[in-house]
Structure 1
Amino acid sequence: MGFQSSSLVFLSVLSMMALLCVAPVQGNGALAHKKVERGFPKDCSNIPRDSPSGVHVIQPAGSPPRVVWCDMDTEGKGWTIVQRNSYNTEITWKESWTTYKYGFGNVQQDYWLGNEYLSLLTRQNTYKVRFVVEDKSNNTRYTEYDIFSVEDEPSGYPLRLGRYSGDGEDYLTTYHSGLGGIHDNMKFSTTDKDQDQTSGNCASSYGG
């Protein structure tokens, strides 16, 4: 993600593998865990709870069907993986605004869901987000925010986050001068559409 400068600075510099997952906040939406009777589920929380983790098709409201990876093993189950970035990825993340809008990569490896679909996904319910970071020694930490949304393209796909929890550092809602300042409430930036608040284009160095 590249809100203000790039939260991938945090993910790529401090980790060997990172997963970005979203799931509805429990208690919001009476149908959140009921079996979908027809069509595709709106997110991974709507697939049967005993389903294995893996590739599934979802269809957020207003979106065409999308192939995603659903994590059915992590606490709470039903996490929709919207980004995976491993230390040895072939993806540079220095993609255009349009490429970030519609997504890229391979859902079984490293990928980005797409800002447009992320916006539509988080518009249909109240979601939380979890960043899972694993290093070379298989040490895993996570950072979670109890509210997560991405607004629409005319607004610049700004990021909105709630309260932090977890055993990892909060690099998104607190200010860090060496890691892009603060990312909460900032617009998305790419190499061809600079919307960050720094003097240069951070996406040219770190990706969107």
Structure 2
Amino acid sequence: MSIQGSDCSEIKRLLPESRSGVYMIHPAASRIPFKVYCEMRPDGGWTVIQKRTGDKVSFRRNWASYEYGFGHLTWDHWLGLKKIHWLTQSKRTTLRVDLWNNGKKTAYAQYQDFSLGIPESGYELHVGRYSGTAGDAIRGTNSDTSQNGFAFSTSDRPNLDCKDCFDYLGNAIKSCSGFSGGGWWFSDCGSANLNGYHNMADISRLHWITWEGVSWIEATRMMIKSE
């Protein structure tokens, strides 16, 4: 497969009739090209960085898996922190989060100026202005739950102590990532986590707390678009 652009947004601009699917890209910040899934929409080409539709692909992974990626590009997957970092270094990038609950209700959150910091920072999360229908869960309901500016954590490499998390039996948990099973930008467990258990003891561990009236998230998709 030949290289077709620096990201999905460029491919869509160069080839407006492009359809959704797997493409080979080569971001300026990366020394090597790699494959991604492009969601081609009327508003541009979006590079999918996360997708979950069930529990067939486990998101209970270690740091190395989250850094380099796992899963299947045409199905459920995590693109990889390193690749996401490369994609957000040389262009202004928008993040879109799509959510579906078990009643097929949908909502989305969109953030301007999305980027991940350097590996030495733990791939710190940075987002700008919010818009959408799901609420601004990345910043949370108050400054204590905001995940903006926080490093990524996994069970084998926690970057923050979890101060106020409890399991479904009420037992205190010391590690947010250990509790959720998946890596995320934790902040006192925070108000968003789309990489945790899909279901544990009948309690959903995929959550976006600002999506009012929804207690069960069934499917998620995270994707980015450059300007």
TM-score > 0.5 by shorter chain: yes
Instruction: Determine helix, strand or coil for the equivalent of 2:97.
Output: strand
Instruction: Determine helix, strand or coil for the equivalent of 2:110.
Output: strand
Instruction: Determine helix, strand or coil for the equivalent of 1:98.
Output: helix
Structure 2 Cα separation of the partners of residues 82 and 201 of structure 1: 25
Cα pair 2:130 2:136 within 8 Å, conserved: yes
Match of 1:57 among 6, 19, 24: 24
Flag the structure with more relative contact order, 1 or 2, with Cα contacts below 8 A and sequence separation at least 6.
Answer: 1
* Partner in structure 2 of residue 186 of structure 1: 150
* Partner in structure 2 of residue 173 of structure 1: 139
1:98 maps to 2:44: no
Decide which moves more: 93-102 or 191-200.
191-200
Structure 2 Cα separation of the partners of residues 188 and 79 of structure 1: 23
Greater CA radius of gyration, 1 or 2? 2
Cα pair 1:89 1:110 within 8 Å, conserved: no
Instruction: State the AA in 1 paired with 2:59.
Output: W
TM-score normalised to the size of structure 1? 0.74
Q: Which has the higher helix share?
A: 1
Deviation string, structure 1 residues 105-131 (Cα, Å, up to 9, x no partner)? 001111011001111110010101000
Task: Give runs of aligned pairs for residues 22-101 of structure 1, distance below 5 A.
Answer: 39-47=3-11, 48-63=15-30, 64-73=32-41, 75-86=42-53, 88-101=54-67
Instruction: State the AA in 2 paired with 1:66.
Output: F
Structure 1 Cα separation of the partners of residues 73 and 113 of structure 2: 24
Cα pair 1:129 1:146 within 8 Å, conserved: yes
TM-score normalised to the size of structure 2? 0.69
CA RMSD of aligned residues (A): 1.9
The size of the alignment, in residue pairs, is 167
Q: Structure 2: which 5+ residue stretches go unaligned?
A: 164-173, 184-227
Runs of 4+ in 1 over 6 A off after TM superposition: none
1:205 maps to 2:184: no
Structure 2 Cα separation of the partners of residues 170 and 134 of structure 1: 16
Quote the offset at 1:53 in angstroms: 0.9
Deviation string, structure 1 residues 140-185 (Cα, Å, up to 9, x no partner)? 21100111000111111000000110111211013369xx922111
Instruction: Determine helix, strand or coil for the equivalent of 1:198.
Output: coil
Structure 1 Cα separation of the partners of residues 65 and 142 of structure 2: 28
Instruction: Determine helix, strand or coil for the equivalent of 2:64.
Output: helix
* Partner in structure 2 of residue 3 of structure 1: none
Instruction: Determine helix, strand or coil for the equivalent of 1:133.
Output: strand
Structure 2 Cα separation of the partners of residues 152 and 40 of structure 1: 26
